[in-house]
Amino acid sequence: MDADLLKKLADLRDATGERKPSDALVLLEALKQLAVENEEIREEVEDMDTLIAQFEWTDVDYKYWLKVGEGVVEYAEGEAEDPSVTMKATAATWTGLGSGELDSTSAYMSGDLQIEGTLQDAIAYGELNSLVGDALRELGGE
pLDDT tens-place values along the chain, 142 residues long: 888 998 888 888 777 556 788 989 999 999 999 999 999 999 999 999 999 999 999 999 999 999 999 999 999 999 999 999 999 999 999 888 877 789 999 999 999 999 999 999 999 999 999 899 899 888 875 5
126 vs 137: CA distance, rounded Å: 16
What pLDDT score does 20 carry? 84
**What value does the CA radius of gyration of the chain take, rounded to a whole number of Å?**
14
What pLDDT score does 71 carry? 96
Residues listed for the chain = 142
pTM exceeds cut of 0.85: yes
What pLDDT score does 7 carry? 86
Distance in angstroms between the alpha carbons of the first and the last residue of the chain: 13
What pLDDT score does 28 carry? 95
113 neighbors 88 (Cβ within 8 angstroms): yes
What pLDDT score does 101 carry? 86
Render the burial of 15-49: b for 16+ CB within 10 Å, e for the rest.
Answer: eeeeeebebbeebbbbbbbbbeebeebeebbeebe
27 vs 60: CA distance, rounded Å: 19
Domain containing 111 equals 3-139
Chain centroid to Cα 74, Å, comes to 12
What CATH number should be reported for the domain holding residue 123? 3.30.1050.10
The number of folded domains in the chain is 1
Chain centroid to Cα 92, Å, comes to 15
